[in-house]
Structure formats: C-alpha cells, structure tokens
Amino acid sequence: MSNTIIVGMADYKIGKTPDKLMTAGLGSCIGVCVYDLHEGAAGLAHIMLPSSNGSHAGNLAKYADTCLEMMLEDLYRLGLRKSRLKAKMAGGAQMFSFKGQTPQLKIGERNAEAVERELKKHGIPLLAADVGGTFGRTINFDIKSGELHIRTINHGEKVI
C-alpha cells in the first residue's frame, strides 16, 4: 500500500517505493526531486531561497545550496549511487510584479537557477523542469515511475 509523504515549506523528505512525495504551495519556491529508479528511492525538497550565503544558522533546508547538500547525504546513506541519480523540478513562479523590478526581486527565477547550479555541481542531470510563469503549483512525485505530477490553478495538470 502506498503512502503519500508530505513535504512542508523549507523542508525535505526521503521516501521509497511504493510511496509518493508531495509538496503544495510552490509559488516562487522550487520543488526538486532527486531519485534513483533502480533503487526505488527519492528525496523531495521545497526550497524557498537561492543561497544560505555561507551561514549555517537557522533552517538550512530553506536554501538551495544547503538543502540539496543535506538531502543528497541522506540519499547516499541509503546506498544510492551518484551515477544513477536524476532530478526533476517545478515552481519558481513570479508571483508578484512591481514596476521597475530589480533582479533581486525575481526570486522564483533565482531559485530555479540556483537549484540547476547545485545539481550541476553534484553531477546530477536535470531531466525535466516546469518553472516560471505567474501561478502556483502542487507537485506529487511517484517514486516507482519517476513521474512528477504538477497541478496548477487555472493552468491544468501535467506530468513530466
């Protein structure tokens, strides 16, 4: 019997088949799944900000750099091999628009870039992404199939 493991904001969870991983309320945040279909295990992170700026205070699961590092360590502890890991991500919307917007306010875009950079740094291929736009997302990751189900308000559903 499969179980849905809920991942809250600024958190990550690890699951094994037949479980599914789910996070809701992805606006400018990024939901990133790192998985190994051969081992039937995956991690899902709900990342709020691009960088911890070297700080190791507070909730480190909030940042792309520190959260992915912690999640990968947990996946390796389960016996997953780096060479078989793959990733998919969704989110990174521009939820608010301001006239004369500075790049610092484009948090969704910066989050997506930071997650891609971290995956590349760790040698994990990003197979699919559904990022950007001006709408929120809820995602469900099926660990057995590797399918990322994305549900949006007024923009339908898709699977990547």
SS3 62: helix
SS3 129: strand
Strand bridging mode 20-26 / 126-131? unpaired
Active-site residue set: 29
* Calpha distance 48→28 (Å, rounded): 7
For residues 107 and 132, the answer to whether their CB atoms sit within 8 Å is no
